[in-house]
């Protein structure tokens, strides 16, 4: 099947009926859509919205929670905070004097992971351009778990059916959440394999696509995912950077993100445009697709692989870093056990910071290790800040931790084990498995995407090639404002208001 690039810059000429139905549905349910500019800066929220938010819990399937799809949530208050919650890791722990700063994604509503932002971005761009009819269409969310959960949450709020497509081997907590949120059990589709089996997800989507009422919101190829992070995550990280450097000037040297769909990496494009920040893409060492054209399996849940997403701006990427899932598995044990916390304290980590490390899921730990590797590789100093994200927290991996305990620490995790894990994987992080993206490497990794997108997924060679050039990506940016204008028009047409 021939496919065009999912860049929704114009209204779909065949979409008038879908658009009218969407307006009616949103009017009936009193759903107001947030603009990207509002999610970027919730300090713009009007008092009536703030008051309404005070009555809604972050995990309710309530339309007002669309106004929590941003980085400014905090567990202690119902309304947005001024700077997103974040952690700065001390040099005693990281072994580098560069400042490693992590934004916390488990503050996002409903799914406790920032992937609900990607889901909102992908659906809203279609909705306001006449490409999704919530009264007829089923929204299909292919993912390794969190994006599917985010999509199911957004679909439920909008009163349409959402279908989660994810590998059967993902963490038990993801499936338990889906059981709670999905009304029809057949709307959870388990594909063969685990984290790195993305091709199997695409195959299932091709099958589902035969039914025209299914709309596949493919996060790996919808540019709204990239742009949502460019518009919302980038500025949120910039604000954190400004906060942590307000009394100690430094430069925003690098942005680090493990690539699943590569959506989050879009924040790096924003930071490069505004701060000349370098962009680091990270992958599991057990499946080193970009580093070594490798294949295999890994347990850094959420970062897929064996393909290069269509929305990855590869030729804007400066470094590729590989991180082993042994490190993330075992550090997760250290951050979530008394022995680990005692060892951290002996290393000078305050009990308060120690307790915040539970906010780090596997890919978050992976991002931190890659940030340290990058800082060491580039010999960054205390005048350099490296920012990264914690997509989700350790609460999604309690069942995985039990498996790791049985496999690696069958007789218990004692202080000596904790010392060993922290020293091996954190304090002495090596600079192995790093690739500088010179022009040759950029083109090599870019070309690797050909096999998925042109050969398998029906993208034309011309469309595939356009993405090699930065001017094409720069041409995408004005879409954010266009969608915001359409969102305003859409809200005006529904007449929906902020109230409970």
Ligand X SMILES: Cc1ncc(COP(=O)(O)O)c(C=O)c1O
CB 443 within 8 A of CB 467: no
Q: How many helices (H) and strands (E) does the chain have?
A: 22, 11
Within 344-363, the residues that bind ligand X by CB under 6 A are: 361, 363
In a 10 Å sphere around its CB, with 0-12 CB exposed, 13-18 middle and 19+ buried, how is residue 456 labelled?
A: middle
What's the rounded Cα separation, in Å, for the pair 321 and 431? 9
Judged by CB under 6 A, the stretch of 141-149, 205-213, 456-464, 479-487 that binds ligand X is 141-149
Nearer to ligand X, 45 or 120 (CB): 120
Q: Does 115 bind ligand X (CB under 6 A)?
A: yes
Number of residues that bind ligand X (CB under 6 A): 21
Residues near 208 by beta carbon (within 8 Å), at least 6 away in sequence: 140, 163, 165, 189, 214, 216
User: Between residues 144 and 313, which has the closer beta carbon with respect to ligand X?
Assistant: 144
Closer CB to ligand X, 219 or 343, in the complex: 219
- The site map against ligand X for 58-97 (x = CB under 6 A) is ----------------------------------------
> What's the min distance (Å) between Cβ of 404 and ligand X?
16
Binding mask 250-279 for ligand X (x = CB under 6 A): --------xxxxxxx---------------
Minimum Å distance from CB 114 to ligand X? 8
The first and second tokens of residue 411, run together, are: 């007789």
Q: How far is the CB of 47 from ligand X (least distance, A)?
A: 33
d(CA 277, CA 256): 10
Give the distance, in angstroms, between the CA of residue 201 and the centroid of all CA atoms in the same chain. Answer: 18
* Stretch of 122-130, 139-147, 200-208, 453-461 lying at the interface with ligand X (CB under 6 A): 139-147
For residue 365, give the 3-state DSSP assignment: helix
**289 lies in the site for ligand X, by CB under 6 A:** no
Smallest separation, CB 492 to ligand X (Å):
31
Nearest residue to the partner ligand X, using Cβ? 302
CB of 323 to ligand X, least distance (A): 12
Position 328 contacts ligand X (CB under 6 A): no
Give the number of other CB atoms < 10 A from CB of residue 265. 29
Stretch that binds ligand X, among 63-71, 192-200, 299-307, 345-353 (CB under 6 A): 299-307
Q: Indicate which single residue of 71, 108, 141, 147 sits in contact with ligand X (rule: CB under 6 A).
A: 147
Query: What is the C-alpha to C-alpha distance for residues 377 and 135, in angstroms, rounded to an integer?
Result: 52
Q: What Rg value do the Cα atoms of the chain yield, rounded?
A: 21
Of these, 94, 96, 121, 143, which contacts ligand X (CB under 6 A)?
A: 143
Minimum distance, C-beta of residue 225 to ligand X, in the bound complex (Å): 7
Query: Nearer to ligand X by C-beta: 15 or 167?
Result: 167
Nearest to 221 by CA among 201, 237, 236: 201
> What three-state secondary structure class fits 57?
coil
CB of 261 to ligand X, least distance (A): 3
Contact pick of 144, 289, 343, 452 for ligand X (by CB under 6 A): 144
Q: Is there a contact between 153 and 130 (Cβ–Cβ < 8 Å)?
A: no
DSSP 8-state secondary structure symbol assigned to residue 320 = E
Pick 42 or 150: Cβ nearer ligand X: 150
Comparing CB distances to ligand X, the nearer of 311 and 334 is 311
- Between residues 189 and 496, which has the closer beta carbon with respect to ligand X? 189
Restricted to residues 5-34, the positions that interact with ligand X (CB under 6 A) are none
Report d(CA 268, CA 287) in Å as an integer.
Answer: 23
Tell me how far, at minimum, the Cβ of 279 lies from ligand X, in Å: 12
Out of 121, 197, 277, 391, which residue is the one contacting ligand X (CB under 6 A)? 391
CA distance 365 to 372: 11
What's the rounded Cα separation, in Å, for the pair 214 and 236?
33
DSSP character for 74?
Answer: B
- The distance of Cα 91 from the centroid of its chain, to the nearest Å, equals 26
CB of 410 to ligand X, least distance (A): 27
Which one of the spans 142-150, 159-167, 323-331, 346-354 is the region binding ligand X (CB under 6 A)?
142-150
Bridge-based pairing state of the strands 99-104 and 86-89? antiparallel
**CB-based burial of residue 75 (10 Å sphere; 0-12 exposed, 13-18 middle, 19+ buried)?**
exposed
Tell me whether residue 303 or residue 459 sits nearer to ligand X (CB atom). Answer: 303
Query: Rounded distance, CA 412 to CA 81, Å?
Result: 40
- 453, 459 contact by CB (below 8 A): yes
The Cβ of residue 273 has, within 10 Å, a number of other Cβ atoms equal to 15
392 is a site residue for ligand X (CB under 6 A): yes
CB of 62 to ligand X, least distance (A): 23
264 vs 317, beta carbon nearer ligand X:
264
Degrees, nearest 5: CA angle 166-172-177: 75
Name which of 108 and 490 has its Cβ closer to ligand X: 108
Binding residues for ligand X, rule: CB under 6 A, are 115, 118, 143-147, 258-264, 301-303, 361, 363, 391-392
């Amino acid at each position: 099947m021939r496919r065009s690039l999912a860049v929704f810059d114009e209204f779909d000429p065949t979409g008038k009926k879908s658009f009218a139905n969407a307006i009616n549905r949103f009017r009936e349910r009193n759903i107001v859509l947030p603009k990207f500019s509002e999610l970027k800066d919730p300090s713009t929220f009007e008092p009536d919205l703030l008051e309404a938010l005070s009555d809604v819990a972050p995990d309710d399937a309530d339309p007002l929670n669309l106004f929590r799809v941003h980085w400014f949530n905090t567990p202690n208050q119902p309304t947005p905070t001024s700077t997103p919650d974040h952690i700065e890791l001390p040099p005693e722990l990281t072994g580098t004097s560069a400042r490693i700063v992590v934004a916390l994604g488990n503050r996002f509503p409903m799914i406790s992971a920032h992937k609900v932002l990607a889901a909102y971005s992908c659906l809203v761009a279609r909705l306001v351009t006449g490409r999704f009819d919530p009264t007829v269409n089923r929204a299909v969310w292919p993912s390794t778990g969190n994006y599917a959960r985010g999509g199911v949450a957004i679909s439920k709020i909008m009163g349409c059916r959402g279908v989660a497509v994810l590998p059967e081997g993902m963490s038990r907590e993801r499936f338990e959440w889906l059981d709670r949120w999905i009304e029809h059990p057949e709307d959870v589709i388990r594909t063969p394999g685990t984290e790195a089996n993305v091709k199997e997800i695409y195959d299932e989507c091709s099958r589902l696509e035969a039914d025209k009422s299914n709309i596949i919101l493919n996060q790996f190829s919808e540019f709204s995912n990239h742009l949502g992070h460019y518009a919302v995550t980038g500025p949120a990280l910039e604000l954190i950077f400004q906060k942590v450097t307000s009394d100690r000037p430094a430069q925003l040297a690098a942005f680090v993100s493990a690539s699943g769909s590569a959506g989050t990496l879009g924040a790096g494009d924003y930071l490069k445009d505004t701060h000349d920040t370098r962009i680091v893409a990270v992958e599991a060492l057990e499946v080193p697709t970009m580093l070594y054209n490798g294949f295999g399996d890994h347990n850094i849940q959420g970062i897929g692989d064996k393909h290069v997403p269509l929305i990855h701006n590869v030729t804007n990427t400066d470094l590729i870093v590989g991180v082993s899932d042994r490190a993330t598995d075992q550090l997760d044990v250290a951050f979530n056990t008394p022995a680990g916390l005692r060892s951290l304290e002996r290393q000078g980590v305050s009990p308060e910071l120690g307790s915040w490390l539970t906010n780090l899921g596997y890919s978050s730990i992976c991002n931190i290790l890659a940030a340290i590797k990058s800082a060491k590789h580039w010999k960054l100093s205390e005048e350099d800040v490296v920012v990264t994200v914690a997509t989700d927290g350790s609460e999604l991996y309690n069942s995985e931790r039990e498996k790791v305990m049985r496999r690696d620490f069958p007789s218990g995790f004692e202080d000596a084990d904790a010392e060993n894990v922290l020293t091996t994987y954190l304090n002495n992080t090596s600079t192995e498995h790093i690739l500088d993206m010179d022009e040759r490497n950029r083109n090599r990794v870019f070309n690797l995407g050909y096999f998925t997108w042109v050969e398998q997924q029906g993208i034309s060679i011309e469309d595939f090639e356009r993405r090699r050039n930065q001017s094409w990506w720069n041409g995408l940016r004005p879409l954010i404002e266009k969608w915001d204008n359409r969102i305003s028009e859409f809200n005006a047409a529904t007449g929906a208001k902020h109230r409970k």
